[in-house]
Amino acid sequence: MPLRYICYDCGSRGSDGSGRCGCGEPLWLDTSPDAFDWDDIVDAPGLWRYEPLLPASLPSPPSLAAAAGGTPLLRDDALDSFVGASVHLKLEGQQPTGSFKDRGSALALAAMEAGLLGESEAIGTVSHGNMAMSTAAFAAAFDRPCVVLVPDDIPPERLGVIGQFDPTILRVRGDYGRLYERSLELGSEYGIRFVNSDSPLRVEGQKTTALELCEAFAPSTPDGIVLPVSSGGHASGVWKALGELRAAGVIDDLPALHLVQAAACAPIAEAFAADEETVSAVEGGETIAYSIANADPPSGTRALRAVRDTGGAALSVDDDAIRSAQRQLATGAGVSVETSGAVALAGAKQLVADGVFTEDDDVAVVATGTGLTEASADVSAPAVDLAALDGLLAEFAGR
Ligand SMILES: *Cc1c(COP(=O)(O)O)cnc(C)c1O
Ligand SMILES: [Zn+2]
């Protein structure tokens, strides 16, 4: 069955999820789980347990897809006292490439293997970090050509990490926000499936973070879920999953979704504080949480809606608070997280200070990425102009 897409906001339908809705908001997959219960979980590894709620199944042979999802929830006294509530730390650093991005990459590759994406042979992504690494690793596992578009000024260490999996890497000069749209346009022209931060299949894969959390707390639910947010893709997936569980009658009330940003670049938190309906681009300064510094988040408005719909909050924390949370995770709990992952713990602590949570609350804190990802490889990544991208991608796609 072909995939069908729908707009969360205006309800319009679309047949191609790589575009946006006419209203300007991102589309997501039109999945209507009329019946689902935890008994319907299938006997499969990782995130594939939730196959009845996903658009694709575990590929055969499963390859790296078998390793995606199924991350543990860690309890540690040091984290409880640091935050001032009962912390349930979701360790996304345990994924094959060290971040939750593997959930979306696994699902996208599974959909391609199942022929759900028509003619696309190659996969691509626009990212300067974890998503690039994740997409490249899964493409390598499934023998798909992969092109990764990174900003021109990417640090060489990051290139080394991505380059391990041998994708085609192009360092693109020009507006990074514009690159996101341009990649989708050129991708549909050249049969390259760009699975960017909030692409519908990535959102489907990222639903499983919330499915795992809710299953772990069943038949109850956590008092809140705290997630660092950048593009809003992960938040969209978590919100969609909660909605599907409620539609199926598995949960009654949605746990509050709290989204945390770095203060230097916090368009969603600022829109929330100002009671705005939509998220607008901000200037965006430097922060140590580089993976989540998106000044113009493509799913920002959708993430804001998720916060309001679940009765949560969008907030920001400064770099000192992020550093202190990162240090606490490492020295108190032995968990290495990257700065972006530490943002969630810093946010949970802030929410206790704000009186949102008390010490009796069970708070699911998603540590989205490991701090251990350091590697290097000899990488060739030519710097190219955005204007030259058309020709280069045509050549890459062999057209
Ligand atoms: C991508 C990423 C985020 C932000 O997720 P979005 O879906 O872009 O909001 C947070 N933490 C880490 C470690 C990431 O890699
Ligand atoms: Zn719409």
- CATH code at position 290: 3.40.50.1100
Query: Is 280 contained in some domain?
Result: yes
pTM of the predicted structure, to 2 decimals: 0.94
Hey, which of 368, 372, 373 would you mutate to test ligand 1's pocket, going by the most ligand atoms within 8 Å of its Cβ? Answer: 368
pLDDT tens for each residue of the chain, 399 residues long: 678 999 999 999 987 777 789 999 999 999 877 789 999 999 999 999 999 999 999 999 999 999 999 999 999 999 999 999 999 999 999 999 999 999 999 999 999 999 998 877 899 999 988 999 999 999 999 999 999 999 898 888 889 989 999 999 999 998 877 899 999 999 989 999 999 999 999 999 999 999 999 999 999 999 999 999 999 999 999 999 999 999 999 999 999 999 999 999 999 999 999 999 999 999 989 999 988 999 999 999 999 999 999 999 999 999 999 999 999 999 999 999 999 989 999 999 999 999 999 999 999 999 999 988 654 446 788 899 999 999 999 999 998
Query: Is 270 contained in some domain?
Result: yes
Domain count for the chain: 1
Cβ of 18 less than 6 Å from ligand 1: no
Hey, which of 133, 158, 291, 365 would you mutate to test ligand 1's pocket, going by the most ligand atoms within 8 Å of its Cβ? Answer: 291
Count the helices and strands in the chain (H runs, E runs): 12, 14
CA distances 302 to 14, 105, 177, 237, 251, Å, are: 17, 21, 17, 10, 22
Q: Which H or E run contains 124? A: strand 122-126
CA distances 124 to 173, 187, 269, 362, Å, are: 17, 8, 30, 38
Query: Is 275 contained in some domain?
Result: yes
Q: Name every residue whose Cβ is closer than 8 Å to that of residue 137 and which is 6 or more positions away in sequence.
A: 64, 96, 97, 102, 105, 165
pLDDT of 399 reads: 86
Query: Is 249 contained in some domain?
Result: yes
Question: In 3D, which of 380, 264, 369 has the Cα closest to residue 316?
Answer: 264
pLDDT of 375 reads: 44
Query: Is 252 contained in some domain?
Result: yes
Query: Is 376 contained in some domain?
Result: no
Q: Ligand 1 centroid vs 293 CA: distance in angstroms? A: 9
Query: Is 361 contained in some domain?
Result: yes
Supply the range of the domain harboring residue 358: 68-98+203-367
pLDDT of 378 reads: 61
DSSP assignment of 228-239 equals E-SSSHHHHHHH
Query: Is 112 contained in some domain?
Result: no
pLDDT of 377 reads: 46
Give the end-to-end CA distance of the chain in Å, rounded to a whole number.
28
Cβ of 298 less than 6 Å from ligand 1: no
pLDDT of 374 reads: 53
Cβ of 233 less than 6 Å from ligand 1: yes
pLDDT of 111 reads: 96
